[in-house]
Chains A and B, each alone.
Chain A
Amino acid sequence: ELKVEQNPLFLSMQEGKNYTIYCNYSTTSDRLYWYRQDPGKSLESLFVLLSNGAVKQEGRLMASLDTKARLSTLHITAAVHDLSATYFCAVPPETSGSRLTFGEGTQLTVNP
């Protein structure tokens, strides 16, 4: 059974600080997706990582993928309040899989 584990599950940080969210998975997939969900809202796509060593950056968020370690990281630089949300990683069960299995999510709160 595919396992997708995120840590931490809850993260409270101050504005201006840096932090990293980790996503470990048990599949052999070479793709991984990051999504953001604001409270009471739907999910929006943040990053699509398609190969080992892939790195994507947008604003204060940077995501990377290490398929050998089966690990993805979402790094937050100089956090601001607007980044407060729940972040999910998701992977397919195998390299060519059409489904996505989601992690439990990391609830991030950025305090002034």
Chain B
Amino acid sequence: NAGVTQTPKFRILKIGQSMTLQCTQDMNHNYMYWYRQDPGMGLKLIYYSVGAGITDKGEVPNGYNVSRSTTEDFPLRLELAAPSQTSVYFCASRRGTAAGNSPLHFGNGTRLTVT
């Protein structure tokens, strides 16, 4: 199994440009998440999804959008890139119910720089 796959690995954007960070998992997990990690910091939750067609905001959703049309895919969209969105973005997934106890499985991250 590939697990959680993120593309691209690196990207440089100009201010105001848009892009989509791709995330796909092949573990048939219900739950998927997008986190961002700023240098030397912990992870902040951007958006999450508990199943296809259902998404919800996390701690820092402004400037981002998501969709979940399939169980496997959970893309993250940046519409108007700003320097404050320079970060490393991690996609994660896990199986289980709302009270599920399984840990998150993380992708390898996308390092985004906005200049």
Task: List the interface of chain A (C-beta within 8 A of B).
Answer: 4, 31, 33, 35, 41-45, 48, 50, 88, 90, 95-105
Contact = CB atoms under 8 A, between A and B. Distances in A.
B103 A101 contact: no
B109 A98 contact: no
Which of A33, A43, A44 has the most chain B CB atoms closer than 10 A to its own CB? A43
Nearest to A6: B42
A105 B42 CA distance: 6
A42 B48 contact: no
A104 B42 contact: yes
B90 A97 contact: no
Contact of A96 (B35, B41, B99, B103): B99
Interface residues of B, number: 25
A99 B61 CA distance: 14
B99 A95 contact: yes
A48 B42 contact: no
Contact of A102 (B43, B48, B50, B108): B43
Given A48-B101, A48-B102, A105-B42, A98 B107 contact: no
Given A42-B108, A50-B101, A99 B41 contact: no
15 contacts: A33-B103, A42-B107, A42-B108, A88-B42, A95-B99, A96-B98, A97-B98, A99-B48, A100-B33, A100-B104, A102-B42, A102-B43, A103-B42, A105-B41, A105-B42
